[in-house]
Structures are given as structure tokens and as C-alpha cells.
Structure 1
Amino acid sequence: MPSTSAPAALLTLYDRETRQGAHADGPDDVVERVGRVVRRTAPAHGWNGVVWSGFTSAEEADAAITEQIAHCTARGLPFEWKLYAHDLPADLGRRLVAAGFTPGPDETLMAAEIDALALTAEVPDGVRVLPVTDRTGVDQVAEVHERAFGDDASRLRRQLLDALTGTPDTVVAVLALAGDVPVGAARMELTPGTSFAGLWGGGTVPEWRGRGVYRALITHRARMAAARGYSRLHVDASPRSRPILSRLGFTELTVTTPYVYAP
């Protein structure tokens, strides 16, 4: 079932609420607007980077790039410029590369109005979905992440534990368990005062893929978001998850690319 909002209108709302109006995700995060840039500064295990830019000229963009490089270099931490395909100037990605940033894989920004989604996915037989509330649950989320994506999850473990203990109203994490074995995990980031909840980190261990675990985790989080007063969802979708999200009713809005600077 398609969203009832046009993609352009959803994208405009997303930019205004989640990028220009970005909020700190943890107790030690700082979000600030510096000129035509909104950036987030966090501890070493957190996410540091630019979430929005609104340049009116190439010269303005180049000056801001230089300023952000100086900011991250002074802190000695990797810094990500999260670039969206509709950001200006049109060659901003090329300018970032020329300044020393390295682009990562593209992802597709998708969004939906919750009440327009086809939330009919049932939990597979033998699987239950439970909220994560303690360190044991966080460790299980990290275990699933490492098995599903092949990444080290030490930073994720620290970030999630910090959020659950310091700002529990900004994050939800869930586990899919087959018996007592974690087979899927996902989280949802919440920004009070906005209409969007963000879906992140949805992953299923290899032997359980194709059985509906990922869809069940989307449904579970969507219903939790609606119960907390959120009306829309957004997700940075990989090529693997994009077809599933499309079938559920998510709309493709734009492409996003992470550009990372490592001082």
C-alpha cells in the first residue's frame, strides 16, 4: 500500500524534521548549527558528522568543508558527512573527495506513513520478538549484528547501552529469538517532537533469512512507533532490504552516501 504523501513532500518534511531539526542521540552528544551546516559531535564510540547542509554557492560549500575538517582534526576522530543526492551544490560529493573524504556504499532513503503500511507480517513459527532492556540483551543484539553483517559490533554495543541507560526515550531495540537463540535484531531511533521514527540495524543471521524475521521486526517496530505517537518511518535501505520495504509500502525518496574523513 503506497504512502498517502507524495515523495517530494515526504522528503521535504524529512529534511526539515530529522536533518535541519536534528537532536542529540545520547547524553554526551552535541548537535549544533554552524553556518549552513548541522553537525553532531559525540564521544569516540559515537557518530560524529554532518547531518544537513544548505549551501547557496560552491564557495560557501568549500569554506564549510574546510571548517568541518578542522573541527574533526582537532578532536582526532573520524568524521562522516552524510550526503543526500538532492543536496547542493550538485558536485558536493566531488568536492568532499577532493578535500580528502572517502565515499562509502550508497543506500536508498525510504519513508512511509505508518497507517499506510501493509503490516500483515506474522512472527515465524517458533520465534518471539522481545524488547531489549539490559546488558544481556545488548550483547545479543551485537551478536546478531556481527553474524548478519560481518562487522565488529563493539561500538554499536557501547552506543546502544549508553542510549538505553542515559536517554531511553530516544531508542528502542528488539530481538527475535528462536527458543533462547537470537536470530534477528533491530533498533529504532526516536526524536521527541517529530513525526518520524528511524529504523536501523535490522539484521537476520544467515540460516534464518527468507523466513520472515526481518519483516516481523519491521512490523513490530512500526506498531511500537505508532503507539508512541509517531506517524512516519524512515530507513536507509540496502539493496537487500529495499525490495522488502517496497512491498510493505515504503517509498524511495533519494540516495544517501556516507563520506568519511579520517584525520
Structure 2
Amino acid sequence: MDHASVLALYDRDMREGARPESPDARVERTGGVVRHVGGEGGWNGVLWSGLDPTGADADAAIAAQIGFFTGLGREFEWKLHGHDHPADLGQRLTAAGFTAEPEETLMIGETAGQLTAGEPPEGVRIVPVTDRAGVDLMVEVNERAFGRDGAWLRDLVLARLATDPDGIVAVVALAGDVPVSSARMEMIPGTRFAGLWGGGTVEEWRGRGIYRALIAHRARIAAERGYRYLQVDASDRSRPILERLGFAALSTTTPYTYVP
């Protein structure tokens, strides 16, 4: 993989050329940034910025986005990548009142290289999530795995299943009838990247290959639909697993959140 070329392609496909996540959302290109204005309960934020490397226009662009989203009465996120300009953009965001969330690593792998990443352990099966009952199982796993309220995940997956069922693949791993892991994949037509999101396993089932099996399961679906690359915003916990599977760390990503 040519890392520089793939990163440039990712920026072009998934950030500068972003599509709305739902029919009632919109993407706007203004003032040197690309922003996503979510629909009811959707995500709001800045996806990409083409700011001057010197930072000459950065503070004005930041102020403009604060003014725009505050005018809508919405909190929003500036999704900063490690290769974005200017180099001190994160410091400028903090000075303007944003709060930085934990940094993650942008990792990308060839879909074809993940088709045989692994099978779930004996007694565990991977099933598709297509209705509210399945989403509830996903949320149960997510809350146990990450120790946080999963209401946002329930709203997100239910909305995507209702408005764009072809754009999301949601799965849960069951040990018997007990949910022990879950994940989703989001796909945008016209791009070459399928995003792997939310992979989480309850503590007592970690280290048995379920995470890898969920990657392989989604990779097979992505390959069938013509996606060449898999993209993950990886935590420190998942990065070593992904590196062993051949994913490359191409940048970092840090959400900066602004609450009016």
C-alpha cells in the first residue's frame, strides 16, 4: 500500500467529498471547510478543512463554524486529523473553547487481506442485526464493553436501518443466546472505503478472536459490494490487533467538541 496515496484518497473520498449520513442531513462547503449538518438526532461537525498552512485564516474559520452551529443551537465536533493544517490547529480549537476527546489512530487495510482474518471461537456465532431486538442486543454489549450509556448507538443504528439499510451492516456475536460482542460497518456508494465502527467485546470474552472474526465477517461483505479499503478509527486497545492483521496507521484523529 502506498500510504501517502491512500491517505490522499481517503481525504478526497471521505472528508472533502463527504456525503450526508441521512436523507434529512446535508453537507456544506464554505469558508475553507466541509461541514456536516445532521438531521434529527444526527451528527454535526467539521469533516475537512483546506486551511492555509500558515494559519492565517484558521481563527476566522473556527469562529465562523462556532457562529454557525451556535446559531442552530447545536453542539458540534471538529474532527481534526494529525496531518491537517495548520500544525497548531488543535491548540487554536482549544483556545476557542473546544474540548479535545481521546486521540485515536486512523488505520486502513486492504479489504482483500482481511477475508480470512479468523472465525469466531466454538460456540459463538455472528448474526445480522436488522430490527429493534437486534439493536438492543448491540447496545447491551456496547454498554458492558465500554461502560457508557448506549442510547446514542440505539438511535443511530435504528435511524440508519430505517433510512439507509444498504449503507450499514450491523452484527452481534452470540455465545448461545448471550450477546458478547458487536460491531457495525458503514458504506457510502461511490467511495472506496468501508468504515468499521463500534467493535466491542465484553471483558470475559476478550482475547478469543471474536474481534478478528467480526473484521473478517464485515470484510467479506465489503468485498462483495466492491469496497477496496477498510477504515478504522482505532483506540489504543484495538490498534495492536489491527497492526497484526496488516492495517497501516496513516494518521491520527481527535474529536474536538464545542458545546454552546
- What's the TM-score, normalizing by structure 1? 0.96
What residue is the counterpart of 1:45 in the other structure? 41
The 3-state SS of whatever aligns with 1:9 is helix
- Report SS of the residue matched to 2:28: strand
Indicate the larger mover: 84-93 or 112-121. 112-121
Q: What is the aligned partner in structure 1 of residue 140 from structure 2?
A: 143
Q: Find the counterpart in structure 2 of residue 123 from structure 1.
A: 120
Q: Which residue of 2 aligns with 1:109?
A: 106
Give me the whole-angstrom Cα distance separating, in 2, the residues matched to 1:117 and 1:35: 39
Alignment length, in residue pairs? Answer: 259
Aligned partner of 2:16 in structure 1 is: 20
The residue aligned with 2:72 is 75
- Mapped to 1, the partners of 2:25 and 2:134 lie a distance apart of 23
3-state DSSP of counterpart to 1:59: coil
Q: Indicate yes or no: 2:81 matched with 1:84.
A: yes
Q: Distance in 2 between matches of 1:119 and 1:49?
A: 36
| 69-78 or 103-112, which deviates more | 69-78
1:207 aligned residue: 204
Which letter maps to 1:45?
Answer: G
Counterpart-to-counterpart distance in 2, 1:155 and 1:43 = 14
Contact 1:85 1:254 in 2 (8 A): yes
CA contact (8 A) 1:190 1:198 kept: yes
CA distance in 2, matches of 1:120, 1:106: 26
Q: Which residue, out of 175, 178, 182, partners 1:178?
A: 175
Is the CA contact 1:118–1:249 (under 8 Å) kept in the aligned structure 2?
no
**% of aligned pairs identical?**
61
Query: What is the Cα-based RMSD across aligned positions, in Å?
Result: 1.1
In structure 2, C-alpha distance between the alignment counterparts of 1:224 and 1:118, rounded to whole Å: 9
Q: Is the 8 A contact 1:110 1:236 kept in 2?
A: yes
Q: Secondary structure at the residue paired with 2:24? A: coil
Do 1:49 and 1:81's aligned partners in 2 also have CA atoms closer than 8 Å?
yes
**Residue identity opposite 2:73 in structure 1:** G
Deviation at residue 253 of structure 1 after TM alignment: 0.2
Shift, 1:173, TM fit: 0.4
Structure 1 residue 44: Cα displacement: 5.5
Instruction: Name the stretch that deviates more: 50-59 or 125-134.
Output: 50-59
Question: 1:41: Cα distance to partner?
Answer: 1.0
Rounded to whole Å, the distance in 1 between the matches of 2:231 and 2:165 is 20
Partner of 1:165: 162
Structure 2 gaps, min length 5: none
The range that moved more, 128-137 or 43-52, is: 43-52
1:72-105 deviations in Å (ceiling 9; x for gaps):
1112222100000110011101110111001110
**Farther off after superposition, 86-95 or 23-32:** 23-32
User: Paired residue for 1:228?
Assistant: 225
Q: What letter corresponds to residue 87 of structure 1 in structure 2?
A: D
Once the 2 structures are TM-superposed, how far is the Cα of residue 60 of structure 1 from its aligned partner? 1.5
What one-letter code is carried by the residue in structure 1 that aligns with 2:30?
V
Moved more, 67-76 or 114-123: 114-123
**Quick check: 2:115–2:219 contact (8 Å CA) kept in 1?**
no
Q: 1:187 to 1:118 in 2, by over 3 A?
A: closer
Aligned to 1:259: 256
Q: Deviations over 1:107-162 (max 9, x none)?
A: 00000111234733111100000111001111111111111111111111011101
Structure 1 runs of 4+ aligned residues shifted over 6 Å read: none
Q: Partner amino acid for 2:198?
A: G
Q: Shift of the alpha carbon at 1:218?
A: 0.6
Q: 1:43 to 1:118 in 2, by over 3 A?
A: closer
Deviations 1:155-176 (A, max 9, x none): 1101110100111121110110
